[in-house]
A and B are shown apart, each in its own frame.
Chain A
Amino acid sequence: MSRLRSALSRTVAHPAFHLALVLALLLGCRWLSAGTVQILTFALIAIIFSQSINLLTGLAGQISLGHAGFFGIGAYCSGILAKTHGVDVALSVPLAALLAAAAGWLLSFPAGRVRDVYLAMMTLGFGMIFYEIVREWNDVTGGTMGFPGVPSAALHTLSILGVRIDAAAYFQVVLLVAALVLVLVRNLTQSRIGRAFFAIHVSEVAAGSIGIPAGATKQLAYTLSGALAGLAGGLYAHLVGYLGPESFALPRSIEVLVIAIVGGLGSIAGQVLSATVFTFLPERLQVFSEYQFIAYGVILTFSLVVLPRGIAGLLLDPPRFIKPRALRRAVALRPDPAVLRPEAAGGGDGSLEVASVTMRFGGLVALDDVSLRIEPGRITALVGPNGSGKSTLVNVVSGLYRPSAGRITFEGRDITGLPDHRIAAARVVRTFQDPRLVPHFTVRENLLLGAHRLLRHTGAAAALALPSALEEEAQQLAAIEAVLALTNLTAVADRTISTLPYGTRRMAEVGRALLARPRAILLDEPAAGLSEAEMERLAQVIRDMKAMGLAILLIDHHMDFLADLVDDVVVLDSGRVIYRGGIAEMRRDPAVIAAYLGDEAATASEHAHA
C-alpha cells in the first residue's frame, strides 16, 4: 500500500505530469460538451478558492467560517468594475483580488488577536456582515434582486483585451490561472513563508523565540488568503454573469471548508481532487444535490475525527516543505562548521547583562531585584528550587514578559521589553521546557525554521522560486548539515518529528535554536526527560557551543549534569539571588542547602563540615 502511495505521490508531484495534464485539458477542451467545460471551469475556480483556505487554515491554522465574504468581494468588485465602469476584465479581476487582499489585511488586525472559538465567531460574523451589506447596498450591488449583466463567458458577452472569449477559451484562461496559482502556492508552501505559517500554527511563542513575528505572519496569511479567494470570486463572476447575494452566504463558506478539510488541510493535491469531486458530484449525482447540505454537515461532523488528514492522508505521502531543487543544490555545497560561529560581536563585550530586574504579577513578586551576567564562551547555570523564578527570568529576558523594573542589555544594546521576535533578531535565542517543534515536519524542516530570520529573500522570490532564493535556502541547508553532525541527528534528518523519541526532539530543538545563529542562548531545562546517554550528548553539544563563543545560560535541576559542564552558577530562591559562584562551593553553601533541603539540613551540614 505504501509503495502505491509513494508511486502515486511521485507521479502527482512530477512536473511532467502537470504539464501533460494541463496540455491535455488545454487542447482537449474543444472536444468536450459545453456543459462539461462549464463544470470543469467551476472546478478550477473551486480549486483556487480552496487554496485560500489551505493557506489560512491548513498552513497557518487560522480557522475561517466566513470565507465566502472574500470570494464575494472579489466577485462583486470585478463584476461592478467590468459592467458599471467598463473596466476590461483583464484588469478588473486582478483589481478585485487586490481589494479582497486588502480586506484580508484589514481583518487580520482584529482576527490576529483572538484564537480558536473566538476567531471562528469573528470570521462567521465577517461573512454575515458581507452578506448583509451586499443585500442592502442596492444601488451598487443590486441588492436581493441581484446584479445581472456581468460580462460572462457563458452568455457570450465576455471579451478580454478586445478578444472575444467563448466558454472554451475562458476555460483555457482559467486553467492557466489555476495552474499558475497552484505552482505559486506550492512554492510558497515549500518556502520560508509556508514554514513560518506552520510555526505560528503550532506555537506562536516558540516561533517568536526564533525570530518569526506572529502578528506580521498572520497578516500575510490573511492577505494572501483574501487575494486568492478574491481571485476565485472574480473569475466566478465572469463565468456566471449574474451575481446574487445567496451565492455568497454561509453555504458557500461551508462548501469551501468541506472541500479543504476532505482534501486534507495542507495538501495541495488532495484539495485539487476534492474540489473536482465536490463540483462534479452535485451536477452528476441528482441524489447528492438534493442532500448536499446534509452531506456537507455529516462530513464536517465526523471528518476531522475520522480522517484528520483527509483524502491526501489516505492516498498520498505527506507533503514536504523544502524545495527539492534547493535540497539538490545543497548537496553540492560543503558543510562548514565555522558557518555556525557567530560573527564578531557588535557593541560591548558580547555579554548579556540582567540588571536589577523585578517582575510582579499582580501582588506576587516573582523576581526581586535579580542581577546576573552571562559572558561569551562561558556556561552559567541558573538553579533554584521549585517556584524560585528561573523560568520567569528566562521569559523576561526573551521578551515574553516586560519586567516591572530593571534593564536587560546585550552587547551594549538595551533589549528590555522588546517583543520576543525582536530579541531573537538581536541574536538572543531560547529553548523551552517542552520542545515545540512542528510535529509533521521532518527534523531537517524543523531545523530550517530556525534559519528563518537569515533567509532574506522576499515572498515573491519564494513564490517564483527564483535562483537567488534557492541559493539562500541551499546555503542554510548546508549549515543544517553541520548542525545535524553536531547534534548526532544526521541519521534521522528526514524522519518526521512526531515519530521520534523525546530525547531526539529535544536535540532537534537545540539544533533549531543554533541555526538562528545566536550569540547568546538560554536553555530552559534541556535535560528534562533525557536518558544518561542523551544527557552526555547534550552536554557535548553545549560544550561545542561554548567553544563557538556563545554566551550560555543553562537552567536545570540535574546537578550531576551541570557539575562538569558549567563555569559558574547563580542560585535563585523565591525570586532572589542567594548565591553566585562555583558549583562545588554551592553545594556547601548554607543558604543554598537551606533553600533546597530545609533549615535543619543546613545547620546539620554546617556542623558536619565545620
Chain B
Amino acid sequence: MDDFFFSLVLAGISVGSVYALIAIGLNLTFWTTRTLNFGQGSLMMLCAMLVVFLASQGLAMALAVIGGLLVVAALGVFVERFTIRPALVASGGSMGWVVSTLGFGIVLQGVAAKYFGSQAMAFPDVLFTTQDYVTVLGQHLSLQYLVVLALSVSLILLLELFVRKTVWGQAVFAISLDPELALVQGMPVRLIILGSFVASSLLAGVAGILSAQIGGTVDPAFGFDLVLFGFVAAVLGGMGSSFGALVGGLAVGLISKLVGGYISTAAEHAIAFALLMAMLALRPQGLLGRPEVSKA
C-alpha cells in the first residue's frame, strides 16, 4: 500500500474520531433541548489552553487536565442557564439561542486571546510523544494517533452503552423523543437537561485536548474550525444519532484528509463545507437520522 495514502487514512480516521466525539457532544444537547451550542468550539479551545497554562504553572498533567475539564463543565452550566434557557423561553424560533451561544463562544475566544495572546501555544505531550510509533505491516503508526482513536471510540461506545442500558441514559433518549411524556412520567427533565449540557461540555473539553495533542498547538481560533467539522459530522451522520456521529466523523475525517493530501490543505475545509451544504440540501436528516417533520 502506498505509504502516503496509508498515513493519510490513519490521520483521517484519527481526526475523524475526534470529530465524531465533537458531534456526539453536539448531539447530547440536541437530544434534550433540540439546541446546539454554537460556542462548543470555544469550550474545546479553552480547555486545551487551560491545560497548557496549568501545566506551565507546574501542575501535574493529570491535574491540569482535570482542572480544564472542571472549568468547561461549569461553563456548560452557564450556557444552559443563561444562554439557552432564556432564549427558549423568549421563543422566536431558534435564532435566539443560535445567536446567544455563538456570542458566548465569541466572548470566550476574545477572553482567551486577551489573556493568553493570539499566538499558537505548543501543546505538551499528554499521551506519548510525536516520536512514538508502532510498526504494523511495515507501516509506521503514530501512537498518539492510535491513542486518540482508541479514546474517542471508547468514549462513544461508553455513551452508547449509557443511553441504551442505564435508566438515566434511557431517560435522556426518552426526552429526545417526547419531553412532555417524560415530564408526566416523573423524569426530572430540568436536571437531565442540565446534565446533558455538562456532559456535552466535558466531551468538548476532551475533544479539545485530543485535537491539540494531534495538532501539536492550540490558539484561540482553533476550536472554531473543529466545531464546524463536528457539525458536518453530525449532519452527515444524522443529527441525534450516535452511530451516525461516528460514521459521519470518520467520513469527514477521511475525505478531508485525503482531499487535503492529494489536492491542497486549504481544500480540506472547503470540501467539508461543501459536504455540509450538499447534505443539508439533499437529505437534511443525514445518512442515519430520522427525518424531522416541521410544519411551518
A–B touching in complex (CB under 8 Å) = yes
A residues adjacent to B (C-beta < 8 A): 57, 61, 63, 65, 109-110, 113-118, 120-122, 124-126, 128-129, 132-133, 135-136, 203-205, 214, 250, 254, 257, 261, 290-291, 293-294, 296-305, 308
* Complex alpha-carbon distance, A299 and B83, angstroms: 12
A203 pairs with B296, CB closer than 8 A:
yes
Known: A116-B93, A121-B280, A254-B102. 11 other contacts (CB 8 A): A63-B98, A115-B94, A115-B294, A120-B98, A124-B231, A125-B232, A132-B273, A294-B110, A297-B109, A305-B86, A305-B87
User: What residues of chain B lie closer than 8 Å to A308, measured between beta carbons?
Assistant: 90, 92
Contact B269 A132 (CB under 8 A): yes
Residues of A within 8 A of B83 (CB): 301
9 interchain residue pairs of minimum CB distance: A300-B103, A297-B106, A297-B107, A110-B281, A294-B110, A301-B103, A204-B296, A116-B94, A125-B273
A109, B277: Cα distance in complex, Å: 11
Chain A residues near B232 (CB-CB < 8 A): 125
**Do residues A114 and B94 form an inter-chain contact, with CB atoms below 8 A?**
no
Contact present for A250 and B266 (CB under 8 Å): no
Q: List 29 A-B contacts (CB under 8 A).
A: A115-B94, A117-B35, A118-B284, A121-B231, A121-B280, A122-B276, A124-B228, A125-B277, A128-B228, A133-B270, A254-B102, A291-B114, A294-B107, A296-B106, A297-B104, A297-B107, A297-B108, A298-B103, A299-B103, A300-B103, A301-B82, A301-B83, A301-B100, A301-B103, A303-B103, A304-B92, A304-B95, A304-B99, A308-B90
B267 at the binding interface (Cβ < 8 Å): yes
Q: Which residues of B contact A254 (CB under 8 A)?
A: 102, 106
In the bound assembly, the distance between CA atoms of A406 and B202 in angstroms comes to: 55
Chain A binding surface SS class: helix
Is B113 on the interface with A (CB-CB < 8 A)? yes
Contact status B111-A294, CB under 8 Å: yes
Q: Which applies to chain B's interface (DSSP): helix, strand, loop or mixed?
A: helix
Q: Is B177 an interface residue (CB 8 A)?
A: no
Q: Report Cα–Cα, A125/B279, bound state, in Å.
A: 12
Q: How far is the CA of A320 from the CA of B96 in the complex (A)?
A: 24
Minimum C-beta distance from A66 to chain B (A): 10
Which A residue sits closest to B276, measured CB to CB? A125
The interface on chain B, measured as residues whose beta carbon lies within 8 A of the other chain's beta carbons, has a size of: 50
Question: In the complex, which residues of chain B have a beta carbon less than 8 angstroms from the beta carbon of A61?
Answer: 93, 95
B223 contacts A by Cβ under 8 Å: no
A120 touches B276 (CB 8 A): no
A136 near B267 with CB under 8 A, answer yes
The residue in chain B whose Cβ has the minimal distance to the Cβ of A110 is: B281
Given known A-B contacts A254-B106, A305-B86, A125 and B100 have beta carbons under 8 A apart:
no
Per the bound structure, the CA–CA distance linking A301 and B110 in Å amounts to 13
- Chain A hits for B267, CB < 8 A: 132, 136
Tell whether, in the assembled complex, residue B284 and residue A114 are in contact, meaning their CB atoms are under 8 Å apart: yes
Measured between beta carbons, the chain B residues less than 8 angstroms from A296 are 103, 106
Closest Cβ neighbor of A117 among chain B residues: B94
A352 to B90 alpha-carbon distance, docked (Å):
42
Look across to chain B and name the residue whose beta carbon is closest to the beta carbon of A254: B106
Asked if A120 and B94 sit within 8 Å, CB to CB, the answer is yes
Q: How far is the CA of A299 from the CA of B267 in the complex (A)?
A: 33
Query: Which residues of chain A are within 8 angstroms of B101 by Cβ–Cβ distance?
Result: 301
- Chain B residue with minimal CB distance to A133? B270
**Inter-subunit contact B277/A257 (CB<8 Å):** no
**How far in angstroms is the closest Cβ of chain B from A40?**
27
Return chain B residues, CB-CB under 8 Å to A129. Answer: 269-270, 273-274
Does the CB pair B270–A257 fall under 8 Å? no
B145 lies within 8 A of chain A by Cβ: no
In Å, the complex CA distance between A415 and B92 comes to 35
How far does the alpha carbon of A57 sit from the alpha carbon of B104 in the complex, in Å? 20
B177 to chain A, nearest CB (A): 18
Q: Which residues of B contact A297 (CB under 8 A)?
A: 103-110
The docked-state distance in angstroms from the alpha carbon of A203 to that of B98 is 20
A304 pairs with B94, CB closer than 8 A: no
Do B90 and A304 touch across chains, with their CB atoms under 8 A apart? yes
By a CB distance below 8 angstroms, the chain A residues around B139 are none
**Chain A residues, CB < 8 A from B113:** 293
- Give the complex CA separation of A300 and B102 in angstroms: 7
Decide yes or no whether B264 CB sits under 8 A from chain A.
yes
CB distance from A138 to the nearest CB of B (A): 10
Query: In the complex, what residue of chain A is closest to B100 when comparing beta carbons?
Result: A301
Q: Is the CB of A125 within 8 A of B228?
A: yes
Q: Is the CB of B280 within 8 A of A302?
A: no
- A291–B110 touching, CB < 8 Å: yes
Q: A117 to chain B: which residues have CB within 8 Å?
A: 35-36, 94, 98
A218 to chain B, nearest CB (A): 11
Q: B233 to chain A: closest CB distance in Å?
A: 12
- The smallest beta-carbon distance between A307 and chain B, in angstroms, is 11
Q: Please, how many angstroms separate the alpha-carbon atoms of A110 and B106 in the complex? A: 27
